[in-house]
């Protein structure tokens, strides 16, 4: 049941356009950003994660070519 709820609540968003403005992660949600080098979305150049308690980590660079996923804790 919890797995189904997480899958239903998952949002995947490809954001084209200008310099990377990361979406704010809602309180009590797990958020994951993957940044790509260009619009082909084949080469990952960075990643960022915000965990349920609000802790954040990441590596690489941010770009305007990104995928964003979130689901409730």
For residues 7 and 21, what is the distance between their CA atoms, to the nearest angstrom? 25
Query: Can you give the pLDDT of all 73 residues of the chain as single tens digits?
Result: 444 444 334 444 444 444 456 678 898 999 999 999 999 999 999 999 999 988 999 999 999 999 999 999 9
Tokens representing 58 are 């990441």
> pTM above the 0.75 mark?
no
pLDDT digits (tens, 9 = 90+) for 17-37: 444 566 788 989 999 999 999
């Amino acid at each position: 049941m919890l797995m189904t709820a997480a899958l239903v609540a998952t949002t995947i968003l490809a954001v084209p356009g200008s310099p990377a403005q990361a979406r704010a992660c809602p309180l009590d949600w797990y958020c994951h950003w993957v940044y790509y080098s260009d619009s082909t979305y084949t080469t990952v150049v960075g990643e960022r994660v915000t965990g349920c308690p609000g802790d954040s980590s990441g590596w690489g660079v941010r770009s305007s070519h990104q995928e964003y996923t979130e689901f409730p804790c």
